[in-house]
Every structure is written in C-alpha cells, then in structure tokens.
Structure 1
C-alpha cells in the first residue's frame, strides 16, 4: 500500500486536482486526493518519502545585528534528481523590518543529495516584544512529494527595558505644601506599552509627622516608546522646624496591561527617593552672668530661638586671658554625653549651666 500511495503521489504532483476514479474504494486501500500544490498527510504507517523542512528558533540579536536562521530542506529518498520550490511568508514577524523575505525559489537536488539549506536573515533591534514567527513554505515538488511543507522560524526576544524613578531633592518651605515631581523614564521600547503602579513609603520622613502626603495605588501609563517619561507628584508639607534633611521612598510596583506575549521579567524597575531639605534655622545663646564672689556660684541660661528636632549640645568653661582662672577663681565644668544640655526643640526653651566660684 505504501508503494502504491507513493507512486500515485509522484504521478499526481503536477496535477491541479484529481479525484479517485473508483467511487467505492477498497476499505483496505488509502485513497489520495491532490488539490493544487498541497498534499494530504500520508496514510498511517507510511514511511516518509518526500520533502520536509524543519523549524528553527533563535535570538534576534541587538540593534544593527544580523542573525541567520538556517532551515534544512531534506528529502527522505535521495535517489535520483528532484526539486522543490520554497518562499517565506510573514506571520507575526514582518518581512523587511524583522526578516529578509525570500521570493519563490527552486531548490534542485542532485542524485544522492538529501539536504539543502535555506538561510533567512533576521534583523536585530532593541525593543522588548513578543517572540515573532514567519514560515518557510514548500511547494511544487518534482520527483517526489512533500511530507512536511512548512517550517516555522521563531525570532526569540532577547531585549530588556527598565523603568527608573529619578530622585528629587528640594526644600520643604515654611508653610503649605511643595510638590515633589518625580519623573519615571522607560529606557527602551516595549511593544504594546504598559502600566506601572506607584507606591511611596516612609523613610526618615513620615506621613504620621505630616512630612509628606502618601501617593499609593496610582498608576503611570506608557505608550512604550524608548526614552518616554511619565511623571507623578508627592506633596511635601512645609514647616519652620530646624531638622535634619528627611527622606521618603518611591517604589515602582507591579506591571500591568502588557502587550500580548510580553514577558514582564524582561522589564526591570529602579526605585527612587525624595529628599526633603531643611530650610529652617534655630539658634542657641548664652546670657552674660555675674555674681559676687561670696555667692559661691554663677548661673548661665542657654536659650533656644526657633524650633527644631530634639537634640543635645556639649558645653565647657574656658579661661579668658588676664581674667578669672579655673582652679583659682572658679571650678571648671563641662558636659557631654549624659551630662550634655538637652533640648526638646521648642522655641524659647532654656537650659542652665552652673559654675562654682572659688
């Protein structure tokens, strides 16, 4: 039966349409119908005898790179001469931009020759995209039939992109709010665009202390162009408190609305920070003090002007040349660590330093 089917296939390969002559074929035989240049699959158990082309998968390469996808066109029986034609066809990959198309071309096989190679040049780019495909299609066989007439070329994406939050550092102001505007930049094209979630979180600046207003749960939408920038705002609250510069964090969260076939693992995110620069001041001042020597001590008052975070400050007495001398006229004193002057940061707050007179 296999021999009979093969002979029919060879005989009918150039006929547009042939219908079996026997309207009631023998159930033990497999009939064959050929329409145009296509063939039905061989009957079960029939060994391969005709042309076939394999599938090829390969990374596309970077911008300006050319990658060769090499397809093998083989025939199962290499005896005698034979020929087959092939051409490429676009699927999700576009000819011209993704690969170089081949028009209908004839492959001639010499007696004993079993394989010929078809090379399709693929053009690299920097865009994150779905894997793309095209086909190499066989037709018009001479000398044998076609067993597998379509080879699929898969151009595998090997590009990546990143979304980066640019840090912002600015003064807070004395009152009201100041908008910190954060730019998020997409460094490479992403086919079909995407959305990314935004989330702020406390650092040394906190929402509880009214340092800034959280921006959580909103999203940025990117069309997917290389170098594209989208922005969002975080309000920062002004005050008149002298304090250290404070930080809060800005994180990029989950990606969504990615194009079909885009792998989110190919897109990384880089978080940023907002630095609230202190633009307030506070001062400490000692008063001048005097007392009769027989009073036994002099009390100095240290006053805070302006508000600030809580802090401590060291102090120490020192001689003035030609004036009082420590050990003779007074007892030297100092404070640091646990004995330093301590302030909660309230405007007008005072602390005292007592010096013993000799």
Structure 2
C-alpha cells in the first residue's frame, strides 16, 4: 500500500513536494580529488580526534561508530597507530557489550562492529565471546520470536551489521534470518505501517513521526537526515557482509538504491543535506553527520554497481568537497555535526564548532569508501 504524507489540517503532500530542494551557496565541484588528497584529509581528522582524546572513551554507540570509521581508515592505510588505539579501547572494555549478554538494545551492539574489525585484523576467539553470546541468545534462546526490538531507524546501523557479519563468519544462516525478521518489523510493521515511507524511499525516525504525528513547523513531514543516514550506513555495511547470492540481498540492495537516489534529488548545491529532508526551510544549514552517511551509502552504491557512476559520482564529489571545504578545520577538527538527538531540533544550533565522535566516525567511513572509487 502506498502511503501519503499529510500536512497539518489534512492537506496531502506529494512525495515530490515533500522532497523539494532549496538553493544555497555556490555549487561545489562535481569531480573527485586524487586519492592521496582524500587520505590526507582523513588522516588529519582522525589524528586530531585521537590527539584530543588520549582516553579512548566508552563503548556506547556513539564512540563505537567512531571506532568503526577509524578501523575502516586503518584498513585503507595500514596505519598501525589506528589499530593500536582501537585495540586499547576494546581491551579497556574487555570486548564486552554495554548491558551485558542479555541486552536486546541495538545501541549496545554497535561496539561489536569494531570488535569484528579487530578480530579480522588479529583473530582471537575472546574478542567475539560477548557478541556471540548476546546474538545467540536473541536468535535461539531468549524469545527468538520477538522481533520488535528495532523500533527506531538508527537501530539498522547499530545492529544489522553484527548479525550479518557473525552469521557469515560462523556459516550459520540463522543470524541473517533473525536479522531480516527484526528488519522487516522496523520497515513494515513498527507503529502500524512501519517506518519505511514507500512514496519516497525514505524512513521516519520512529513511530512518533508517522503521518498524523510530529511534523515540522510548516506542517510538512519530518524525515530526519541523520536517521536516514543511519539507514544508509546499516544497509551498506550489511551488504558488504552478505554473499551476493543471499536471499535477502535483493531487498537490501533495492532499498539502499532507492534511498540513495531519493537523497541525491535533494542535495544542496553546497554538497550538504538539510536536517529535515522533507522541508529545506526547517532549520536550514550545513550538517555533517547525515551528509557523511549519505556520502558513505552513495559511494558504496556506486562501487557495488547499484547506481550509475556517471549519475551519482557528482553527488558524492559535491558532498566530499562540501564537508572538506566547510566542516573540516585546518587542524582536523570536524565541525557542523548535529550532536545526539532524534530530530532536526535536537542539539541546535549546529555550528562550525559542533562536533561528536559518531560524526567523526561517519566522516571517516565516507572518505574511505570514496577513496576506493579513485582506483
């Protein structure tokens, strides 16, 4: 069934109108810089963060997203410093999950992505003990038929990849099957119709924002940029983990492709995306975290052949030039990151000096994926 957006007062808003772009500053270049230039910026941003955080911090979702990005940069560069910093972080937490092995909360499972990266770099069984105990419980013994845990779209980034990667590593299809049941609930059932808006290919953050719920001051829908960025990142990481022949891959590919094409249509000329994709006048301005994850998803989709390179590479290039030219400080500090929240109004105002660990992680993921497009 096709779903319609609704304005306050009951007037229908078409998908095209809901995603109308807004003119901004002068357009960014549509060509990629050389690979070495991309890597140099990534190193500058990563090194600044590490230098400012001698204590690597907690293992909650936000910091875990940083380490996912840092370890992607480690794979790209082979830099042992990044591996050592991440290893020290994981060892401080004994490769455990916040909430323990009984947790069902997707945020608590995000750290497992970095643990899996560290395991791939230096295989030691103890690195995956907590993760495997946790996902085994959810899949086999602790209410295995309960599939409503992913009630917000951020969960797709936090938890889809650990299920997919552990299942692939162990050769056990049950983990990917459980993943898809959780995913299907979020997409098609949560809140009644599900969080996926099939008129646009975008996602509502949670059921509060479904038609008839929270809207922008203008009455237009709220389709939060970073929420959709989490979805893009979760799909890209999951597709990297699953074999191309896996039965759920066509759906994940189609969903990511539709999302990437939808956001391409509303990219700002300066390369960024607005915090509300459905209303460019709703707190307009550059925002780094959503933009980074859209760049990550777009670059992956190009590399995987899901979208045409000629059509989407300029989108990726504009996003990169916008981020580097506007958000990256000369010393590597990354600004214009909307801090923790759940909607466009969260953590406002967003400024040149607004940053967060997960924003840095998203930027590193985006840049490493983009660098792979340069050959």
Shorter-chain TM-score bucket reads under 0.3
Output the TM-score relative to the length of structure 2.
Answer: 0.17
Identify which of structures 1 and 2 has the higher relative contact order when contacts are C-alpha pairs closer than 8 Å and 6+ apart. Answer: 2
Output the TM-score relative to the length of structure 1.
Answer: 0.18
More helix by percentage: 2
More strand by percentage: 1
Based on CA coordinates, which of the two structures has the bigger radius of gyration? 1
